[in-house]
Amino acid sequence: MTDDIFDRVQRYCDDNHLVDVADKVPVFICSIGAHMFNAVNKCSMCDFDPLTAPEGSFVIEDCPLRHTDYPIYTPASRLADTRINILIRGQKGSGKNVLLDLFCAENTGILWNSEAAGGVGFKTMIGANSITEAGMFGSVNEEGEIMGRPLARDMCGGFLCFEEFSSMSDAGKKDHSVDMKNQLLTSLDSGRVNKAMKAGWVKYNTRFTLWAGTQPARFELESGLDRRFFIIDIAMSPEKELAYKIAQNSQASTTPQERAALASEMIELRKWFIDRQQKTMGKKPKGVVFGEDFEQWVLQESVRSFESDLFRRMAIGYAMMIGEWVDKELLMVDLDDRLRGILEETLKMRRNVMDEDIRLIRTTYWEKDVPRSVLVKDIARLVCDNDYSASKRWIEEHLIGQAWFTEFIPKRDGRGRKGVVCRFGYEDGVMNG
């Protein structure tokens, strides 16, 4: 067997007759690498260390990611979070759960490990179909103590999966879970959970990586979720439906010998990831250097400014998964052909999903002048789940700078208020009104 983990996992997928995963599995492998790098960078400040945590507080006894070294990646003098959270968008029956099960299913996932609680490998969990904000992030009792085992705290350092992301996003719309969205955003962005309650504070840091599926009709990227997730888009077609059915026939006819070989292969892959984790924490890189080719790639026009950090994380995760960098002082992030392919595919999937809303707004208002106040209201209704603040951010991030979009203040006689007008489809700049 080659030691190339990307090839090994793809061959395992082929042997299991998995359909349409070749451009998606590498994203998950990079996410694992980025997760390990994040531990190198941030896990020296552990809230759950038994040696430093206050007596009686929640601790994680044998976390293999815990260490005492200094952070190594601080762009703009800020401690960067490099986790790659993934949203898999696809219709029912499109195979979203196949990818989650491949890595995290109990007993059979190639990351799942029965000894994870004892400090071996990563904790993995496929979460509940329904969850409250308190169940996810915690609440306090009358003494001000955090009650139970909220998932964000219990799964620190692990991979938390949800077969349907709406189990979290819908909870944020309920009266008893109104803070879900805010807590989710900050936990995915910086790893912080920080909320004040009448009886005390729920306050801790967490390092879980989130992988989740979602259906297109329920997909919401308001309030900055698009900044926190890599998006995998699974398109369906009659040809793919047929391929799925053919694959199911092959899977159902697997011989005992083939099942034994697949089980052995799964164990070997699991050992590889455990070994990689141990090597990483045993001899951590002391810095990061990005190659010129990668720097040029993120400068291309199709990569938006707020996305460049996401692609840097992808490149870091990739570099953590290839070669034996553990014998070197620095993690060298170079753009080879495979990484370029991964970046291009993820960018294409991202554009397919995110630009749907842009196409909707562009088509709705094409060759029209619209008061900005009206546009904010309409985008809040059509795109941002009635969130006006998210609507204003969406305009700044997705419309400002487009060649077919202009903002201007029309010239008017009298003292009437001169509000901003948005123009779609014209090339001639400011219009005199």
Residue spans per domain, the chain = 5-350, 366-424
pLDDT at 171: 56
Question: Beta-carbon neighbour count of residue 345 at 10 Å?
Answer: 16
Whether pLDDT at 10 is above 60: yes
Residue 209: name the closest of 9, 10, 38 by CA: 38
Taking residues 179-207, what's their average pLDDT? Answer: 88
Q: Which of 102-116, 209-223, 291-305 has the lowest mean pLDDT?
A: 209-223
pLDDT at 432: 36
Q: What confidence tier does 48 reach under pLDDT thresholds 50, 70, 90? A: very high
Whether pLDDT at 145 is above 90: no
Task: Dihedral sign for Cα 312, 313, 314, 316, please.
Answer: positive
Whether pLDDT at 172 is above 80: no
pLDDT digits (tens, 9 = 90+) for 263-302: 999 999 999 999 999 999 998 999 999 999 999 999 998 8
pLDDT at 173: 56
pLDDT at 305: 83
pLDDT digits (tens, 9 = 90+) for 377-393: 999 888 887 888 888 98
The label of the residue with tokens 């297109």 reads: 216
Using CA atoms, how far apart are residues 307 and 355, in angstroms rounded to an integer? 14
Whether pLDDT at 82 is above 80: yes
pLDDT at 196: 85
pLDDT at 96: 86
pLDDT at 168: 73
DSSP per-residue codes, 199-234: TEEEEEE---EEEEEE-GGG---GGGHHHHEEEEEE
Q: Which of 28-42, 210-224, 312-326 has the lowest mean pLDDT?
A: 210-224
The CATH number corresponding to 5-350 among 1.10.10, 3.30.70, 3.40.190, 3.40.50 equals 3.40.50
Taking residues 29-58, what's their average pLDDT? Answer: 92
Helix H or strand E segment including 263 = helix 256-282
pLDDT at 429: 45
Using CA atoms, how far apart are residues 105 and 13, in angstroms rounded to an integer? 15
Between 359 and 296, the higher pLDDT residue: 296
Q: Where are the alpha helices (DSSP H) in 307-336?
A: 308-321
Q: Which of 174-178, 314-318, 340-344, 420-424 has the lowest mean pLDDT?
A: 174-178
pLDDT at 233: 86
Inter-residue contact 342 to 360 (CB < 8 Å): no
DSSP per-residue codes, 73-109: --GGGS------EEEEEE-TTSSHHHHHHHHHSTTTS
Q: Is 160 left (phi over 0), alpha (psi -120 to 50) or beta?
A: beta
CA 51 to chain centre: 31
pLDDT at 1: 41
Name the amino acid, one letter, at 61.
Answer: E
Taking residues 153-159, what's their average pLDDT? Answer: 94
Whether pLDDT at 242 is above 90: yes
Whether pLDDT at 344 is above 60: yes
